[in-house]
Chains A and B, each alone.
Chain A
C-alpha cells in the first residue's frame, strides 16, 4: 500500500467525522437518528474503491470505538457498537465494500444512472440488509414491522443522499480523474 493510499484512507475517515457534525434528526419511535453519515459509505466506496474504502470506514469506526465522539450527535465509545441499533453501523462497513466494488467495475462507464443504482443497492440496500434484521432480532420486533418502520423514516432521506452521492462521484470523476476508484492503489 502506497503512502498516498494511507493518506486517502485517513482523509475519508475524517470526512466521515465531518459528516457527523451535521445535526442528526432523532426518530423517537425507533431511537435511531437520520444522519448525514449514512452518505459516507456511498462517497467513500464510490471514490476510494473497495479496498481503501473498507479500510477508511474501519479506521473511522476504530476512532469511534476508542472513544472519540465522532458519530452524529457527538456520540462515541464502545457503547454504540453493542446497542440494538448497531447493525446499521456494521451495515456501513459492508456497504462501503459493495459500493466500492461496484464503482471500480463501473468506473469507465460511470454515469449518473449507474452511479445512482449503485448507491441505492449498495448504500441503502446493503445497510438495511444488515441493520434491519439486527434491529428486529435485538428488539423482538417483527422483521416486516422493523423494515416498514425504518423504511418509512429513512428511505426518503437516503434516496436523496444516494442522488447527491451519485452526482458527486460522477462529477468528481470528470474533475479529478487522477483517482479512478481503487485503481490508484493497484497502479502503485
Chain B
C-alpha cells in the first residue's frame, strides 16, 4: 500500500531528489496563480506535458489517475463559462490541469519512502523547533500498522452485535470499537516504552 501510486522506472524524473520535486510544486502553483491569463497557463501545461514522456510513466496510467480531477475541471470550465468568458474559463481549467498533472507526476515518480525520508531530513534540520524525525517515522509506521488492526476490530465488534440481534446502529458500533482501540493504544504505548 505504501507505494500504491508509484510507478517503478528509471527516468531522470525518478532520479531527481524527492525534496527538490516536493519544493517545485508550490513554486509552480505560485507562478501559475501570480501570472494570470490563459496563455501562461497553456505554456505551463505544455511544459508539464513535455515531462510526461521523460518521466517513464505510461500516459494511460497518468490519465487514469487524472480522471476524477478531469471531471471536476470540466465542471469548473462550464461554471466559469456561465459566470465569465471563454478566456477566463480556459485559463482556470488549464491552470488546474497543469498543476494537478505536475503533482500527479511527482507522486508517480517518487517512492513514498523517499518522500518520507525527505521529510525526516527536513525535521532533522528543524529539530530546534521540537520536530523530531524519530517521532515522525514512528507515527507513520504506527498508522500503517493500525489500519488493518482497525479493520479487524470493526469486523469483530460488528459480528458481536449482529449476534445480539441488532445490525444497524452506527453509534452502537463505533463506541465499543473506539473503546477497544483506545485500550489497544494504551498498551501499544506501554510496549513502545518497554522497547525503547
Tell me if A10 and B186 are in contact (CB < 8 A).
no
Choose one: A8, A26, A83, A142; the contact of B185 (CB below 8 Å). A8
Binds A, one of B9-17, B37-45, B92-100, B157-165: B92-100
Q: Which residues of A lie under 8 Å from residue B73 when comparing CB positions?
A: 31, 84
Closest chain A CB from B17 CB (angstroms): 15
| Alpha-carbon distance between A83 and B95 when the two chains are bound, in angstroms | 10
| Alpha-carbon distance between A27 and B100 when the two chains are bound, in angstroms | 20
Say yes or no: is A29 at the interface (Cβ < 8 Å to chain B): yes
Interface string of B59-76 (1 = CB under 8 A from A): 000000110110111011
Binds B, one of A74-82, A96-104, A114-122: A74-82
Choose one: A10, A83, A85, A164; the contact of B142 (CB below 8 Å). A10
Name the interface residues of A132-188: CB closer than 8 Å to any CB of B.
138-142, 164, 167-168, 171-172, 175-176, 178-179
Tell me if B107 and A76 are in contact (CB < 8 A).
yes
Tell me if A176 and B189 are in contact (CB < 8 A).
no
Binds B, one of A59-67, A87-95, A123-131: A59-67
Tell me if B154 and A18 are in contact (CB < 8 A).
yes
Tell me if B147 and A142 are in contact (CB < 8 A).
no
Name the interface residues of B133-167: CB closer than 8 Å to any CB of A.
135, 138-140, 142-144, 146-147, 149-151, 154
Tell me if A179 and B107 are in contact (CB < 8 A).
no
Choose one: B174, B184, B188, B192; the contact of A168 (CB below 8 Å). B174
Tell me if A141 and B4 are in contact (CB < 8 A).
no
| Alpha-carbon distance between A63 and B142 when the two chains are bound, in angstroms | 12
Tell me if A62 and B119 are in contact (CB < 8 A).
yes
Tell me if B171 and A164 are in contact (CB < 8 A).
yes
Residue among A6, A26, A81, A85 facing the most chain B CB atoms (10 A cut-off): A6
Tell me if A18 and B150 are in contact (CB < 8 A).
yes
Q: Which residues of B lie under 8 Å from residue A167 when comparing CB positions?
A: 171
Tell me if A7 and B142 are in contact (CB < 8 A).
yes
Q: Which residues of B lie under 8 Å from residue A32 when comparing CB positions?
A: 72
| Alpha-carbon distance between A186 and B119 when the two chains are bound, in angstroms | 27
Number of A-B residue pairs, CB cutoff 8 Å, is 184
Say yes or no: is A105 at the interface (Cβ < 8 Å to chain B): no
| Alpha-carbon distance between A47 and B179 when the two chains are bound, in angstroms | 11
Tell me if B115 and A7 are in contact (CB < 8 A).
no
Interface size of A by Cβ–Cβ distance < 8 Å?
A: 58
Q: Which residues of A lie under 8 Å from residue B69 when comparing CB positions?
A: 79, 83
Q: Which residues of B lie under 8 Å from residue A13 when comparing CB positions?
A: 139, 143, 146
Q: Which residues of A lie under 8 Å from residue B79 when comparing CB positions?
A: 139-141
| Alpha-carbon distance between A77 and B107 when the two chains are bound, in angstroms | 5
Tell me if B142 and A139 are in contact (CB < 8 A).
no
Choose one: A29, A69, A82, A140; the contact of B5 (CB below 8 Å). A69
Tell me if A6 and B5 are in contact (CB < 8 A).
no
Tell me if B179 and A175 are in contact (CB < 8 A).
yes
Say yes or no: is A34 at the interface (Cβ < 8 Å to chain B): no
| B77 closest partner in A (C-beta) | A139
| A2 closest partner in B (C-beta) | B189
Tell me if B110 and A11 are in contact (CB < 8 A).
no
| Alpha-carbon distance between A55 and B19 when the two chains are bound, in angstroms | 22
Residue among B79, B89, B181 facing the most chain A CB atoms (10 A cut-off): B79
Q: With contacts A31-B71, A66-B119, A168-B175 known, what are 14 further pairs, Cβ within 8 A?
A: A7-B188, A28-B75, A59-B139, A67-B4, A67-B5, A68-B2, A79-B107, A82-B100, A83-B69, A138-B92, A139-B79, A140-B89, A167-B171, A176-B183
